[in-house]
Amino acid sequence: MKFERKFNPTIWIVLLVFAVITMIGAGLFTPAAAATLTKAEAEMLTFMREEEKLAHDVYLVMYERWGAVIFSSILASEQRHMETMLKMLNKYGLSDPAAGRGIGEFANAEIQGLYDALIAQGNISLIDALHVGVEIENTDIFDIQNALAGTSRKDLRTAYTNLLEGSFNHLQAFEKAIEVQGQ
């Protein structure tokens, strides 16, 4: 009597699932969503979330103070930038430094000090407020370029690249507004 081996797909599927589960449990296979960031990447992502909040909050206060449409327009974009950074924080299981904080409130003392100084400068005149916008966008561009240099993760690079393009556009808008003001 000859034994024939028949292909049983159910057994193969069960074995494959068991092998994958075993590899995940052993740490040999990490799904993309569960990937972890380096300490530097996590710190930069957290910092960028607060830096985007700084831009948002300053532009909100400057719009309320001066009523200039440029602040309102760019404010909406900064809100999207904040949301993008929050999505990345959530994806990587990092806490949100902006959670529970009101306008002008920051976890990072350096950002808090910068916010206070920018508000003081921007409250002097509309032209000073526009120069504050230039300063914020130049700072964002510098920090985003550093963030890009510090990661090879495609999702972070895409998010940072989009922020960078927005910051270049905002910078041009503020520079043009200053030019229109004759300064």
**Positions in the chain short of pLDDT 50:** 3, 12, 14-16, 19-20, 23-34
Helix ranges restricted to H, the chain: 9-25, 39-66, 69-91, 109-122, 126-149, 154-180
Which residue segments constitute the domains of the chain, with CATH numbers given? 37-180 (1.20.1260.10)
Give the predicted TM-score (pTM) of the model.
0.81
Cα separation values, 139 from 128, 133, 147, Å: 16, 10, 12
Percentage above 90 pLDDT, the chain: 79
Q: Amino acid letter at 106?
A: F
pLDDT digits (tens, 9 = 90+) for 45-69: 999 999 999 999 999 999 999 999 9
User: Smallest Cα–Cα separation from 50: which of 143, 170, 129, 181?
Assistant: 143
Distance CA(144)–CA(146), nearest Å, equals: 5
